[in-house]
Amino acid sequence: MRIRLMTLLWLVLVLAGCKNDADSITGTFSSMHFVRQGGGAIDFKVSPTTNSNQLLAIVSRYNYRDTAINVLIDSNADTSPCFIALAKALNNGVELSGNFQQPTLPTGTWAFVYLSSNGKDTEVTNTELRTTLLQFEQLIRNKIK
């Protein structure tokens, strides 16, 4: 009886320690939401349009001020990697979760990349995807200067 109890406890501990694959994020998304806090603050959403070679970015905050700026981003040789990465991310073609963690310093600048669906934002922590999607920030900054 004692051996069975010990085996059962061991099995419970092993199963409890296993990584749960529920951390995997699935589903489709409607837009990308980008937020930079601290220096160079900006907040915008990027959404597909009816033209597959164009994206619409709506800037809602820029330099600590509320705003409403619409920017069209055209697909070209420079923006093609961003367009491809965003399309894959919006259509669940790439894993969103990864090992990226925001710095915890009390001062500085922080960039958050989310994918949005039905009013809910899901943070992108996949380092490679995040790095590619961060390029939208500079594209939009160049357009609104």
Beta bridge partners of 115: 32, 122
Query: Does 82 or 145 have the greater pLDDT score?
Result: 82
Q: Output the pLDDT for position 65.
A: 94
AA identity, residue 21: D
Question: Spelled out in words, what is the top-level CATH class assigned to the domain 28-144?
Answer: alpha beta
Q: Output the pLDDT for position 22.
A: 38
pTM over the 0.85 mark = no
pLDDT tier for residue 9 given thresholds of 50, 70 and 90: low
> 86, exposed or middle or buried, with CB in 10 Å at 0-12, 13-18, 19+?
buried
Q: For 28-38, what is each residue's pLDDT tens digit?
A: 899 999 999 98
Q: For 46-93, what is each residue's pLDDT tens digit?
A: 999 999 999 999 999 999 999 999 999 999 999 999 999 999 999 999
Q: For 87-126, what is each residue's pLDDT tens digit?
A: 999 999 999 999 998 878 777 889 999 999 998 999 999 9
